[in-house]
Amino acid sequence: MDPITLAFLALAFLIIVASLFVVSSRNIFHSAIFLILALFGVAGIFVLLEAPFLAAAQVLIYVGAISILMIFAVMLTARIADGQLRYTNEQVPTGLLVSLGLLVVMLYSLWQTPIPTSAAAPVSGAGRKLGELFLTQYVLPFEIISVLLLTALIGALVIAKKDPRAASAADDSAADVPARERERAVV
């Protein structure tokens, strides 16, 4: 067996096992760590597919930014981190039904879709071509996504920012919002 196949098998095993631990681990911090492992495995698959730019972006964004923020949130909520969490509730049958249905739909569509393969060599220097396309052909979607992200950023700031006057006004008028929830938004 050549090393590429071996590496693929190892990575696939890693991703599946790590993903299983993400949802089955009783400790939410462990779940977060296994999620990072799974995402890193996906980056490894990208490398095997000769898409190193995508792999680097995957690690940079998912492992470097999103996962760290998640761990940060987990660490800030101390009681979640050290408690043994319950992962099931009374909605198990419904959830099982929905996920089984989703699985059937996904398997069916996977079965039906012809997956195109090409003998052409992978593009070298994909990052450069990607950048060129972003700034020429796809400049409008690119800019729209940028504006969307900026809006989300400003929105998060507005929600999180504690304006003393607005807070006191909100205390008087909107008593239906529990104080704890506002505090959580501030955190």
Partner 1 sequence: MTALIPQSILELDKLVRTIADAIAAVLQGIGLGPAWVTLIQLSIACLVVIAFAAVVVLFLVWWERKISAHIQMRLGPMRVGWHGALQTIADAVKLLQKEDITPTNVDRPIYFWAPILTFVAAVAVYVTIPFGKGLIVSDLNIGILYILSITTFTVIGLLMAGWSSNNKYALLGGFRSAAQVISYEVPMALAIMGVVMFTQTLSMVEIVNQQQSFTHWYIWRQPIGFVVYMIAATAECNRTPFDLPEADSELVAGFVTEYSGMKFAMFFLAEFLNLFSISAIATTLFFGGWQGPFLPSWMWFMIKTLIGVFVLMWVRWTYPRLRVDQLMGFAWRFLLPAAFVNLILTGLLIAVFL
Residues that bind partner 1 (CB under 8 A): 2-4, 27, 29-30, 33, 36, 52-53, 55-57, 59-60, 63-65, 67-69, 71-72, 75, 81, 124-125, 127-128
Nearest to partner 1 of 71, 170 (CB atom)? 71
The rounded Cα 151 to chain-centroid distance in angstroms is: 20
State which residue, 4 or 175, has the beta carbon closest to partner 1.
Answer: 4
Q: Which CB, 74 or 170, lies closer to partner 1? A: 74
In the complex, what is the shortest distance from the CB of residue 176 to partner 1, in angstroms, rounded to a whole number? 33
Rg (CA), the chain: 22
> Whole-number minimum distance, CB 103 to partner 1, in Å?
31
Instruction: Note the helical H segments in the chain.
Output: 3-24, 28-48, 52-58, 68-76, 78-82, 92-112, 126-135, 139-160, 164-173, 179-186
C-alpha 144/C-alpha 141 separation (Å) is 5
CA-CA distance, 127 to 14, in Å (whole number)?
A: 27
- Shortest reach from residue 53's CB to partner 1, in Å: 5
